[in-house]
Amino acid sequence: MKQYLLSTFLLASVTIFAQAPKLEKDYNTVADKVIEWRRDIHQNPELGNREFKTAEKIANHLKSLGIEVQTGVAYTGVVGILKGNRPGKVIALRADIDALPVTERNDLPFKSTVTADFAGETVGVMHACGHDTHTAILMGVAEVLSKNKDKIKGTVKFIFQPSEEGAPEGEEGGAALMIKEGVLENPKVDAIFGLHINSQTPVGVIRYKSGGTMASSQRFVINVMGKQTHGSQPWGGVDPILISAKIIDGLQTIISRETKLIDEPAVITVGKITSGVRFNIIPESAEMIGTIRTLDYDMQKFINQRMMEMVPAIAKAFRGEATITIDNGTAITYNDPDLVVQMLPTMQRVAGMANVQTQKAITGAEDFSFFQEKVPGFFFFLGGMTPGTMESYPHHTPDFLIDDSGLLLGVKTLTEMSLDYLGK
Protein backbone atom coordinates (compact mmCIF):
# COMPACT_ATOMS: atom_id res chain seq x y z
CA MET A 1 0.00 0.00 0.00
CA LYS A 2 2.83 2.36 0.91
CA GLN A 3 4.55 1.72 -2.42
CA TYR A 4 1.27 2.21 -4.27
CA LEU A 5 0.63 5.57 -2.60
CA LEU A 6 4.18 6.72 -3.32
CA SER A 7 3.86 5.66 -6.97
CA THR A 8 0.54 7.46 -7.22
CA PHE A 9 2.12 10.61 -5.79
CA LEU A 10 5.06 10.47 -8.19
CA LEU A 11 2.73 9.92 -11.14
CA ALA A 12 0.61 12.86 -9.98
CA SER A 13 3.72 15.03 -9.78
CA VAL A 14 4.71 14.13 -13.32
CA THR A 15 1.18 14.86 -14.49
CA ILE A 16 1.14 18.22 -12.73
CA PHE A 17 4.47 19.35 -14.13
CA ALA A 18 3.31 18.38 -17.60
CA GLN A 19 0.48 20.89 -17.41
CA ALA A 20 0.31 24.63 -17.83
CA PRO A 21 3.70 25.01 -19.56
CA LYS A 22 3.13 28.74 -19.99
CA LEU A 23 3.10 29.23 -16.21
CA GLU A 24 5.53 26.50 -15.20
CA LYS A 25 8.45 28.88 -14.76
CA ASP A 26 6.38 31.06 -12.44
CA TYR A 27 5.21 28.04 -10.43
CA ASN A 28 8.78 26.84 -10.00
CA THR A 29 9.86 30.31 -8.88
CA VAL A 30 7.19 30.56 -6.22
CA ALA A 31 7.32 26.98 -4.89
CA ASP A 32 10.01 27.47 -2.25
CA LYS A 33 8.62 30.86 -1.28
CA VAL A 34 5.23 29.35 -0.44
CA ILE A 35 6.83 26.84 1.91
CA GLU A 36 8.96 29.57 3.51
CA TRP A 37 5.88 31.79 4.05
CA ARG A 38 3.91 28.92 5.46
CA ARG A 39 6.61 28.00 7.98
CA ASP A 40 7.07 31.60 9.11
CA ILE A 41 3.33 32.05 9.61
CA HIS A 42 3.16 28.70 11.40
CA GLN A 43 5.89 29.76 13.81
CA ASN A 44 4.15 33.09 14.49
CA PRO A 45 0.43 32.27 14.78
CA GLU A 46 -2.23 34.74 15.89
CA LEU A 47 -5.77 34.23 17.16
CA GLY A 48 -8.90 35.53 15.45
CA ASN A 49 -9.26 39.32 15.05
CA ARG A 50 -5.69 39.65 16.36
CA GLU A 51 -3.78 38.64 13.21
CA PHE A 52 -1.82 41.89 13.03
CA LYS A 53 1.61 40.60 11.97
CA THR A 54 0.09 38.06 9.60
CA ALA A 55 -1.99 40.78 7.93
CA GLU A 56 1.06 43.02 7.63
CA LYS A 57 3.04 40.23 5.97
CA ILE A 58 0.24 39.60 3.48
CA ALA A 59 -0.30 43.29 2.69
CA ASN A 60 3.40 43.94 2.13
CA HIS A 61 3.61 41.00 -0.24
CA LEU A 62 0.59 42.08 -2.28
CA LYS A 63 1.85 45.66 -2.49
CA SER A 64 5.22 44.42 -3.72
CA LEU A 65 3.38 42.76 -6.60
CA GLY A 66 1.64 45.98 -7.61
CA ILE A 67 -1.75 44.72 -6.42
CA GLU A 68 -4.28 47.21 -5.04
CA VAL A 69 -4.54 46.50 -1.30
CA GLN A 70 -7.20 47.15 1.32
CA THR A 71 -6.35 46.54 4.99
CA GLY A 72 -8.33 46.58 8.22
CA VAL A 73 -11.28 44.78 6.64
CA ALA A 74 -13.24 43.02 9.40
CA TYR A 75 -10.54 44.13 11.89
CA THR A 76 -7.45 42.44 10.40
CA GLY A 77 -8.54 41.19 6.99
CA VAL A 78 -6.61 42.02 3.83
CA VAL A 79 -8.10 42.29 0.35
CA GLY A 80 -6.10 42.50 -2.86
CA ILE A 81 -7.55 43.48 -6.23
CA LEU A 82 -5.75 42.47 -9.43
CA LYS A 83 -7.19 43.74 -12.70
CA GLY A 84 -6.29 41.85 -15.86
CA ASN A 85 -5.36 43.44 -19.14
CA ARG A 86 -8.76 42.57 -20.58
CA PRO A 87 -12.25 43.24 -19.18
CA GLY A 88 -14.39 40.42 -17.84
CA LYS A 89 -15.96 38.92 -14.74
CA VAL A 90 -14.73 39.13 -11.16
CA ILE A 91 -13.60 36.07 -9.24
CA ALA A 92 -12.72 35.96 -5.54
CA LEU A 93 -10.21 33.61 -3.91
CA ARG A 94 -10.36 33.24 -0.15
CA ALA A 95 -7.86 32.10 2.49
CA ASP A 96 -8.42 32.16 6.26
CA ILE A 97 -5.52 33.44 8.37
CA ASP A 98 -6.30 32.78 12.06
CA ALA A 99 -4.88 30.15 14.41
CA LEU A 100 -6.33 28.22 17.35
CA PRO A 101 -5.82 28.21 21.15
CA VAL A 102 -3.88 24.92 21.01
CA THR A 103 -0.41 24.18 22.40
CA GLU A 104 1.71 22.55 19.69
CA ARG A 105 3.23 19.15 20.49
CA ASN A 106 5.88 18.08 17.99
CA ASP A 107 9.55 18.59 17.13
CA LEU A 108 9.23 20.73 14.00
CA PRO A 109 12.02 23.31 13.63
CA PHE A 110 9.29 25.91 13.00
CA LYS A 111 7.10 24.77 15.89
CA SER A 112 5.01 27.48 17.54
CA THR A 113 5.90 28.51 21.09
CA VAL A 114 3.55 31.51 21.03
CA THR A 115 1.10 32.12 23.88
CA ALA A 116 -1.80 34.54 24.06
CA ASP A 117 -4.83 35.45 26.14
CA PHE A 118 -7.97 33.54 25.24
CA ALA A 119 -11.18 33.93 27.28
CA GLY A 120 -9.18 35.17 30.24
CA GLU A 121 -6.61 32.36 30.17
CA THR A 122 -3.06 32.17 28.86
CA VAL A 123 -3.01 29.53 26.13
CA GLY A 124 -0.68 28.17 23.51
CA VAL A 125 -1.41 29.30 19.95
CA MET A 126 -1.03 26.98 16.97
CA HIS A 127 -2.07 26.72 13.35
CA ALA A 128 -3.76 23.44 14.18
CA CYS A 129 -6.15 23.60 11.25
CA GLY A 130 -3.83 24.52 8.39
CA HIS A 131 -4.80 28.14 7.84
CA ASP A 132 -1.10 28.95 7.55
CA THR A 133 -0.99 26.78 4.42
CA HIS A 134 -4.09 28.46 2.97
CA THR A 135 -2.54 31.88 3.47
CA ALA A 136 0.79 30.91 1.90
CA ILE A 137 -0.95 29.24 -1.05
CA LEU A 138 -3.01 32.33 -1.82
CA MET A 139 0.07 34.55 -1.52
CA GLY A 140 1.66 32.28 -4.12
CA VAL A 141 -1.38 32.48 -6.40
CA ALA A 142 -1.27 36.27 -6.15
CA GLU A 143 2.38 36.30 -7.21
CA VAL A 144 1.83 34.02 -10.21
CA LEU A 145 -1.26 35.85 -11.44
CA SER A 146 0.33 39.27 -10.97
CA LYS A 147 3.03 38.20 -13.44
CA ASN A 148 0.42 37.09 -15.96
CA LYS A 149 -2.03 39.99 -16.18
CA ASP A 150 -2.08 39.54 -19.94
CA LYS A 151 -3.79 36.17 -19.42
CA ILE A 152 -6.46 37.53 -17.06
CA LYS A 153 -9.78 38.42 -18.64
CA GLY A 154 -11.41 40.27 -15.79
CA THR A 155 -10.48 40.82 -12.14
CA VAL A 156 -9.22 38.61 -9.31
CA LYS A 157 -10.03 39.58 -5.74
CA PHE A 158 -7.83 37.99 -3.06
CA ILE A 159 -9.63 37.72 0.28
CA PHE A 160 -7.46 37.00 3.32
CA GLN A 161 -10.06 36.45 6.01
CA PRO A 162 -9.54 36.69 9.78
CA SER A 163 -11.36 34.79 12.51
CA GLU A 164 -12.73 31.79 10.60
CA GLU A 165 -12.62 29.83 13.86
CA GLY A 166 -14.89 32.38 15.49
CA ALA A 167 -14.54 35.90 16.81
CA PRO A 168 -13.60 36.67 20.41
CA GLU A 169 -16.47 36.97 22.87
CA GLY A 170 -18.43 40.16 22.25
CA GLU A 171 -16.91 40.84 18.82
CA GLU A 172 -18.07 40.31 15.26
CA GLY A 173 -15.74 38.69 12.81
CA GLY A 174 -15.00 36.27 10.02
CA ALA A 175 -16.69 35.97 6.65
CA ALA A 176 -19.97 37.45 7.89
CA LEU A 177 -18.29 40.71 8.93
CA MET A 178 -16.27 40.91 5.72
CA ILE A 179 -19.49 40.58 3.72
CA LYS A 180 -21.16 43.18 5.92
CA GLU A 181 -18.28 45.55 5.16
CA GLY A 182 -18.71 45.00 1.41
CA VAL A 183 -15.96 42.57 0.48
CA LEU A 184 -18.08 41.08 -2.31
CA GLU A 185 -18.75 44.51 -3.84
CA ASN A 186 -16.68 47.16 -5.64
CA PRO A 187 -16.07 45.28 -7.85
CA LYS A 188 -18.98 42.89 -7.48
CA VAL A 189 -17.86 39.26 -7.26
CA ASP A 190 -19.37 36.75 -9.70
CA ALA A 191 -17.97 33.55 -8.12
CA ILE A 192 -15.68 32.53 -5.26
CA PHE A 193 -13.23 29.66 -4.78
CA GLY A 194 -11.60 28.35 -1.62
CA LEU A 195 -9.68 25.33 -0.43
CA HIS A 196 -8.89 23.56 2.82
CA ILE A 197 -5.80 21.49 3.49
CA ASN A 198 -6.56 18.03 4.88
CA SER A 199 -4.15 16.09 7.07
CA GLN A 200 -5.78 12.76 6.23
CA THR A 201 -5.76 13.12 2.43
CA PRO A 202 -2.50 12.19 0.63
CA VAL A 203 -0.40 14.90 -0.99
CA GLY A 204 -1.29 15.19 -4.67
CA VAL A 205 -4.98 14.38 -4.15
CA ILE A 206 -7.92 16.80 -4.37
CA ARG A 207 -11.34 15.88 -2.99
CA TYR A 208 -14.66 17.63 -3.50
CA LYS A 209 -18.42 17.24 -3.35
CA SER A 210 -21.10 18.99 -5.35
CA GLY A 211 -23.96 20.51 -3.33
CA GLY A 212 -23.92 20.32 0.48
CA THR A 213 -20.29 19.73 1.46
CA MET A 214 -19.88 20.83 5.08
CA ALA A 215 -22.49 21.17 7.77
CA SER A 216 -24.16 24.22 9.23
CA SER A 217 -23.12 24.90 12.81
CA GLN A 218 -25.38 26.10 15.61
CA ARG A 219 -24.52 26.76 19.24
CA PHE A 220 -27.00 25.99 22.00
CA VAL A 221 -27.08 26.85 25.71
CA ILE A 222 -29.27 24.98 28.20
CA ASN A 223 -29.82 26.29 31.71
CA VAL A 224 -31.27 23.88 34.26
CA MET A 225 -32.78 25.03 37.55
CA GLY A 226 -33.20 22.66 40.47
CA LYS A 227 -33.23 23.04 44.24
CA GLN A 228 -30.06 22.92 46.33
CA THR A 229 -29.73 20.41 49.15
CA HIS A 230 -27.20 18.39 51.10
CA GLY A 231 -25.60 15.61 49.08
CA SER A 232 -26.62 13.09 51.73
CA GLN A 233 -30.31 14.07 51.42
CA PRO A 234 -31.18 14.20 47.71
CA TRP A 235 -34.90 13.90 48.52
CA GLY A 236 -34.67 17.39 50.02
CA GLY A 237 -33.93 19.06 46.70
CA VAL A 238 -34.11 18.79 42.92
CA ASP A 239 -30.89 17.63 41.28
CA PRO A 240 -29.96 19.70 38.18
CA ILE A 241 -27.04 17.38 37.41
CA LEU A 242 -29.37 14.39 37.17
CA ILE A 243 -31.74 16.43 35.01
CA SER A 244 -28.83 17.45 32.78
CA ALA A 245 -27.88 13.80 32.30
CA LYS A 246 -31.44 12.94 31.29
CA ILE A 247 -31.55 15.88 28.88
CA ILE A 248 -28.30 14.80 27.22
CA ASP A 249 -29.65 11.29 26.86
CA GLY A 250 -32.89 12.63 25.40
CA LEU A 251 -31.14 14.87 22.89
CA GLN A 252 -29.27 11.89 21.48
CA THR A 253 -32.56 10.11 20.78
CA ILE A 254 -33.48 12.98 18.44
CA ILE A 255 -30.56 11.89 16.29
CA SER A 256 -30.72 8.12 16.79
CA ARG A 257 -34.51 7.69 16.65
CA GLU A 258 -36.13 10.71 15.01
CA THR A 259 -33.72 11.99 12.35
CA LYS A 260 -33.64 10.34 8.93
CA LEU A 261 -29.91 9.82 8.73
CA ILE A 262 -30.06 7.98 5.40
CA ASP A 263 -30.77 11.39 3.83
CA GLU A 264 -28.05 13.46 5.53
CA PRO A 265 -25.92 13.12 8.67
CA ALA A 266 -26.66 15.22 11.77
CA VAL A 267 -25.00 15.66 15.14
CA ILE A 268 -25.94 17.05 18.56
CA THR A 269 -22.97 17.35 20.92
CA VAL A 270 -22.86 18.71 24.46
CA GLY A 271 -19.31 19.97 24.76
CA LYS A 272 -19.39 21.67 28.15
CA ILE A 273 -21.36 21.20 31.37
CA THR A 274 -20.88 23.34 34.46
CA SER A 275 -22.51 22.74 37.83
CA GLY A 276 -21.77 22.64 41.52
CA VAL A 277 -18.97 23.78 43.82
CA ARG A 278 -18.53 20.92 46.31
CA PHE A 279 -18.70 17.11 46.38
CA ASN A 280 -21.38 16.92 49.09
CA ILE A 281 -23.74 19.59 47.84
CA ILE A 282 -26.42 19.03 45.23
CA PRO A 283 -26.32 22.40 43.43
CA GLU A 284 -29.11 24.69 42.43
CA SER A 285 -28.33 25.00 38.72
CA ALA A 286 -26.40 23.60 35.77
CA GLU A 287 -25.41 24.96 32.38
CA MET A 288 -24.75 22.97 29.21
CA ILE A 289 -23.27 24.31 25.99
CA GLY A 290 -23.07 22.39 22.74
CA THR A 291 -23.29 22.32 18.97
CA ILE A 292 -25.75 21.12 16.32
CA ARG A 293 -24.47 20.10 12.87
CA THR A 294 -26.83 19.60 9.91
CA LEU A 295 -26.56 19.42 6.12
CA ASP A 296 -30.22 20.10 5.32
CA TYR A 297 -32.19 23.13 6.46
CA ASP A 298 -35.47 21.23 6.87
CA MET A 299 -33.64 18.74 9.08
CA GLN A 300 -32.12 21.61 11.04
CA LYS A 301 -35.56 23.13 11.61
CA PHE A 302 -36.94 19.79 12.82
CA ILE A 303 -34.04 19.16 15.22
CA ASN A 304 -34.28 22.68 16.63
CA GLN A 305 -38.02 22.28 17.19
CA ARG A 306 -37.62 18.94 18.97
CA MET A 307 -34.87 20.31 21.21
CA MET A 308 -37.02 23.28 22.20
CA GLU A 309 -39.87 20.88 23.07
CA MET A 310 -37.81 18.20 24.78
CA VAL A 311 -35.52 20.19 27.09
CA PRO A 312 -38.17 21.89 29.29
CA ALA A 313 -40.35 18.76 29.22
CA ILE A 314 -37.59 16.50 30.56
CA ALA A 315 -36.73 19.00 33.28
CA LYS A 316 -40.38 19.24 34.32
CA ALA A 317 -40.65 15.46 34.51
CA PHE A 318 -37.93 15.51 37.18
CA ARG A 319 -39.42 18.49 39.08
CA GLY A 320 -37.03 21.07 37.67
CA GLU A 321 -37.03 23.76 35.02
CA ALA A 322 -34.88 24.29 31.95
CA THR A 323 -34.53 26.83 29.16
CA ILE A 324 -32.71 26.51 25.85
CA THR A 325 -31.42 29.06 23.35
CA ILE A 326 -30.08 28.16 19.91
CA ASP A 327 -27.83 30.54 17.99
CA ASN A 328 -26.89 30.21 14.34
CA GLY A 329 -23.19 29.82 13.61
CA THR A 330 -22.28 28.99 10.03
CA ALA A 331 -24.47 28.09 7.09
CA ILE A 332 -24.20 24.93 5.00
CA THR A 333 -21.10 24.99 2.81
CA TYR A 334 -22.82 24.50 -0.54
CA ASN A 335 -20.86 23.97 -3.74
CA ASP A 336 -22.79 25.35 -6.69
CA PRO A 337 -23.38 22.29 -8.96
CA ASP A 338 -23.00 24.26 -12.21
CA LEU A 339 -19.75 25.80 -11.02
CA VAL A 340 -18.43 22.37 -10.01
CA VAL A 341 -19.20 20.98 -13.47
CA GLN A 342 -17.53 23.97 -15.08
CA MET A 343 -14.33 23.76 -13.05
CA LEU A 344 -13.91 19.99 -12.74
CA PRO A 345 -11.97 19.64 -16.04
CA THR A 346 -9.49 22.26 -14.82
CA MET A 347 -8.88 20.41 -11.57
CA GLN A 348 -8.44 17.13 -13.43
CA ARG A 349 -6.00 18.69 -15.87
CA VAL A 350 -3.88 20.16 -13.09
CA ALA A 351 -3.87 17.29 -10.59
CA GLY A 352 -4.46 14.35 -12.92
CA MET A 353 -7.77 12.58 -13.49
CA ALA A 354 -7.19 9.85 -10.87
CA ASN A 355 -6.20 12.36 -8.20
CA VAL A 356 -9.43 14.38 -8.27
CA GLN A 357 -11.88 12.40 -6.17
CA THR A 358 -15.40 12.85 -4.87
CA GLN A 359 -16.11 12.54 -1.16
CA LYS A 360 -19.10 12.37 1.16
CA ALA A 361 -20.28 15.39 3.11
CA ILE A 362 -18.62 16.05 6.45
CA THR A 363 -20.06 17.46 9.67
CA GLY A 364 -17.31 20.01 10.15
CA ALA A 365 -18.36 23.59 9.47
CA GLU A 366 -16.85 26.50 7.51
CA ASP A 367 -17.80 30.15 7.41
CA PHE A 368 -16.85 30.15 3.71
CA SER A 369 -20.52 29.16 3.54
CA PHE A 370 -21.52 32.79 4.10
CA PHE A 371 -19.81 33.80 0.86
CA GLN A 372 -21.63 30.97 -0.92
CA GLU A 373 -24.97 32.32 0.28
CA LYS A 374 -24.25 35.49 -1.72
CA VAL A 375 -22.45 34.22 -4.83
CA PRO A 376 -21.80 30.80 -6.44
CA GLY A 377 -18.87 29.14 -4.74
CA PHE A 378 -16.68 26.06 -4.91
CA PHE A 379 -14.80 24.81 -1.83
CA PHE A 380 -12.52 21.78 -2.11
CA PHE A 381 -9.98 19.83 -0.06
CA LEU A 382 -6.24 19.59 -0.75
CA GLY A 383 -4.11 16.66 0.37
CA GLY A 384 -1.59 17.41 3.10
CA MET A 385 -0.63 13.92 4.31
CA THR A 386 2.72 12.40 3.34
CA PRO A 387 1.96 9.48 1.00
CA GLY A 388 2.41 6.15 2.76
CA THR A 389 1.91 7.58 6.24
CA MET A 390 0.36 4.98 8.52
CA GLU A 391 -1.03 7.50 11.03
CA SER A 392 -2.20 11.06 10.60
CA TYR A 393 -3.46 13.46 13.22
CA PRO A 394 -6.83 15.22 13.04
CA HIS A 395 -7.24 18.96 12.71
CA HIS A 396 -7.56 21.01 15.91
CA THR A 397 -5.17 18.72 17.82
CA PRO A 398 -1.68 19.41 19.30
CA ASP A 399 -0.08 16.79 17.03
CA PHE A 400 -1.57 18.09 13.77
CA LEU A 401 0.95 17.92 10.91
CA ILE A 402 0.93 18.96 7.27
CA ASP A 403 3.38 17.92 4.55
CA ASP A 404 4.06 21.24 2.86
CA SER A 405 5.28 19.56 -0.33
CA GLY A 406 1.61 19.50 -1.32
CA LEU A 407 1.15 23.26 -1.24
CA LEU A 408 2.24 23.91 -4.82
CA LEU A 409 -0.68 21.85 -6.12
CA GLY A 410 -2.97 24.28 -4.27
CA VAL A 411 -1.25 27.23 -5.95
CA LYS A 412 -1.59 25.67 -9.38
CA THR A 413 -5.20 24.62 -8.91
CA LEU A 414 -6.49 28.00 -7.74
CA THR A 415 -4.46 29.81 -10.40
CA GLU A 416 -5.69 27.64 -13.26
CA MET A 417 -9.28 27.68 -12.00
CA SER A 418 -9.17 31.47 -11.92
CA LEU A 419 -7.81 31.80 -15.44
CA ASP A 420 -10.20 29.20 -16.86
CA TYR A 421 -13.26 30.65 -15.15
CA LEU A 422 -12.50 34.17 -16.32
CA GLY A 423 -11.51 32.91 -19.76
CA LYS A 424 -14.85 31.21 -20.23
Question: Is the previous residue joined to 387 through a cis bond, with omega within 30 degrees of 0?
Answer: no
Burial annotation 231-240 (CB, 10 A radius, 16+ → b, else e) = eeeeeebbbb
Cβ atoms of residues 182 and 332 within 8 Å: no
137 contacts 195 by C-beta, under 8 angstroms: yes
Sorted by sequence, the CB contacts under 8 Å of residue 197 that are 6+ apart come out as 130, 133, 134, 381, 382, 383, 384, 402, 406, 410
Angle in degrees, 0-180, between the axes of helices 52-64 and 131-146, rounded to the nearest 10: 10
First to last CA, the chain: 40
Strands (E), 203-345: 206-208, 211-214, 216-225, 229-230, 266-275, 281-282, 285-294, 321-330, 333-335
Positions marked active-site: 98, 164
Residues 127, 42: contact at Cβ < 8 Å? yes
342 neighbors 424 (Cβ within 8 angstroms): yes
How far is Cα 403 from Cα 110, in angstroms, rounded to an integer?
13
Query: What share of residues in the chain are helix, strand, coil (percent, to 5)?
Result: 40, 30, 30
Residue 174 CB neighbour total at 10 angstroms: 27
Compute CA distances 80 → 67, 110, 183, 309, whole Å.
Answer: 6, 28, 10, 48
